[in-house]
Amino acid sequence: MNEAIIIEKSVIIIAVFALTMLMAMYSTLAERKIAAWLQDRIGPNRAGKGGIFQPLADGLKLFAKEEFVPNTENKFLFFVGPAVSMSAALMTSAVIPWGDKLHLFGRDIILQATDIDVAILYVFGVLSVGVYGIMIGGWASNNKFSLMSAMRAASQMISYEVAMGLSIIALIMMTGTLSLREIAAGQEGMNWNVFYQPVGFLIFLVCSFAETNRTPFDLAECEAELIGGYHTEYSSMKMGFYLFAEYASMFISSTILAVLYFGAYNYPGMNWMEENVGVNIANVIGMLALFAKLCFFIFFYMWVRWTVPRFRYDQLMRLGWKVLIPLSIANIIITGVIILLTE
Amino acid sequence: MSIETISLSGRKKEVSNKKMTFMESLYLVAIFKGLMITIKHLFTRKVTIKYPEQTRELSPVYRGQHMLMRDDQGRERCTACGLCALSCPAEAITMKAEERKPEEKHLYREEKYASIYEINMLRCIFCGLCEEACPKEAIYLTKSRVMVKSATNREDFIYGKDKLVMPLEMAIKNTPTNAAN
């Protein structure tokens, strides 16, 4: 039985890893296509039909680029930076429940790499490690603009993590669990948390934009003032790793948004499907539902990117500390009062 | 009505610098409006022209490569009067006139012709003033999309009569068959 678990878990891990990579790859194409469409252009359409091989071509190009290392004291850190970014982005996917369970070979297979009971804390922990990648890379670049960008990224992450954590507290108070699996299971049918926690969702959404360094919070890679920020000195595939990590973390945070607030793999009529059609089919549809939800959020990230211009640094800090944090504290209090009243 | 409130264009807008309310400082409403504007563009017609497959329509006043015309009997129209060179603002045209010999009657229309006619394509600005100045309707700017072929030395950009004169077949093709001989 132990071997079966090892095989089962490794299959899930490899599948999730492959999915994350594939999604990150095609997010780059999606980004370029959506950017083009929103600007009334067509976008890349030369590599394959509709530009389907564009990510491969981009990857090939990055591999063929000169590997440049600046004259820095911290050559080791320079190499570690992108690796930390990348692994932090990939590690988060370990606790995400991709579906309820499949019934195969006479066993119930739980569609999650690992079901730890403090999954939310784990997600927050790993997401915060992501800033180390930027910080280390910016520091080791031996370039003042890179360092400035790294400082910005770090302070931005710290400010928005507070609001993010506080917005999650209201959700945890409501669901009474830290496990993503139980949170997902608790949103059966259309009982999605977003209907009970709209303000919390909004705060979480804004903060995840900040956490993934996406526009309007991409001050860390501000081209106009910081010539690209922390990846100024990076070239070739190390640069590719940073960009890739950004897309991977975008994918992961879209997934977390979908799991926490948009009912994870739940869709209306899932129970009926499980009883009448079978557990497997019901859950495959569930996985597709989750996939559709997270694709929507990835699209939303891109949509916002071409709508909202970049914040000024003081605006960013004011929004974080003076608007979002008070709002999320108020949200906690109101949630607490409602929980007390309804009990 | 005081002068400050008059708006001739109808677009005058009073700018106010009032403090934002709490709802405004959340930016939510404004961002939602912006999102609606951008999503509209997702479905509008794309303006891109996929160049090698599609080409943009030429403007009716498009002016391309020059051509020295022949008349309907295949004779060169140019009489080397030099008005084109005179009118050329870029001073791109040079020519040398020569008198027509009796046996060359079938080659040149007038008694005088240009033995050398050169346009420096690096100087030419394709303004079309030579075309307007010509009294003999001898020089025209064609609709050719190829304007000047690239080259590595400057001499190659000075186009002589070999490149400028209309090909003989073209002149004959445009002519009624009985007029050819």
Question: CB within 8 A of A66, min separation 6: which ones?
Answer: A235, A236
Taking the CB of residue B99, how many other CB atoms lie within 10 A of it?
11
pLDDT, tens only, A9-20: 888 888 888 888
Q: Count how many pairs of residues, chain A against chain B, have C-beta atoms within 8 Å.
A: 40
> CA separation (Å) from A267 to A146, A257, A270, B167?
45, 16, 6, 74
Nearest Cα to Cα of residue A244 among A22, A47, A24: A24
Identify the pLDDT of residue B1: 58
Rounded CA-CA distance A90/A191 in Å is: 29
Q: Is the ipTM value over 0.85, yes or no?
A: no
Q: Which residue has the tokens 């001898």?
A: B138
CB-CB under 8 Å, A308 with B31? yes
Contact B27, A307 (CB under 8 A): no
Identify the pLDDT of residue A1: 60
Taking the Cβ of residue A71 and every Cβ of chain B, the question of whether any pair is shorter than 8 Å is answered with: no
Rounded CA-CA distance A10/A283 in Å is: 20
Q: Which residues of A touch B31 (CB under 8 A)?
A: 304, 307-308
Mutate to test the interface with B, among A33, A34, A37 (most CBs of B within 10 A): A37
pLDDT above 70 (res A268): yes
Domain boundaries, given as residue ranges, for chain B: 66-179
pLDDT, averaged across chain A:
84
Which residues span the domain enclosing A151? 2-42+57-342
pLDDT, tens only, B133-160: 999 888 988 888 877 888 899 888 999 8
CB-CB under 8 Å, A303 with B38? yes
Q: Among A38, A41, A42, whose Cβ lies nearest the Cβ of B38? A: A38
Rounded CA-CA distance A61/A56 in Å is: 8
pLDDT, tens only, A22-69: 888 888 898 888 888 888 888 888 888 888 888 888 888 888 888 888
Identify the pLDDT of residue A333: 92
User: Is residue A52 assigned to a domain?
Assistant: no
Determine the average pLDDT of the residues in A311-320. 84
pLDDT above 60 (res A270): yes
Higher model confidence: residue A227 or residue B95? B95
Q: Which of residues 281-320 of A touch B (CB under 8 A)?
A: 303-304, 306-308, 319
Q: Which residues of B touch A38 (CB under 8 A)?
A: 38-39, 41-42
Question: CB within 8 A of A90, min separation 6: which ones?
Answer: A17, A20, A248
Which residue from A minimizes the CA distance to B26?
Answer: A323
Rounded CA-CA distance B173/B181 in Å is: 13
Counted domains in chain A: 1
User: Is residue A49 assigned to a domain?
Assistant: no
pLDDT above 60 (res B180): no
Q: Which residues of A touch B41 (CB under 8 A)?
A: 37-40
Mutate to test the interface with B, among A202, A307, A327 (most CBs of B within 10 A): A307
Q: Which residues of A touch B37 (CB under 8 A)?
A: 307
Share of chain B above pLDDT 90, in %: 10
CB-CB under 8 Å, A307 with B31? yes
Is the bond preceding residue A216 a cis peptide, omega within 30 degrees?
A: yes
The letter for the amino acid at A307 is T
pLDDT above 70 (res B176): no
User: Is residue A127 assigned to a domain?
Assistant: yes
Taking the Cβ of residue A35 and every Cβ of chain B, the question of whether any pair is shorter than 8 Å is answered with: no
Domain B66-179 class in CATH = alpha beta
Which residue from A minimizes the CA distance to B40?
Answer: A38
Tokens representing B151?
């080259």
Taking the Cβ of residue A42 and every Cβ of chain B, the question of whether any pair is shorter than 8 Å is answered with: yes
Identify the pLDDT of residue B2: 67
Taking the Cβ of residue A40 and every Cβ of chain B, the question of whether any pair is shorter than 8 Å is answered with: yes
Nearest Cα to Cα of residue A126 among A138, A139, A113: A113
Which residue from A minimizes the CA distance to B43?
Answer: A37
Q: Which residues of B touch A306 (CB under 8 A)?
A: 38
CB-CB under 8 Å, A202 with B28? yes
- Scanning A39-102, the segments in alpha helix (DSSP H) are 54-64, 75-91
Determine the average pLDDT of the residues in B102-120. 88
For A26-40, B19-33, B84-98, B113-127, which range has the lowest pLDDT when averaged over its residues?
B19-33
pLDDT above 80 (res B13): no
Contact A114, A95 (CB under 8 A): yes
Q: Among A34, A38, A42, whose Cβ lies nearest the Cβ of B48? A: A42
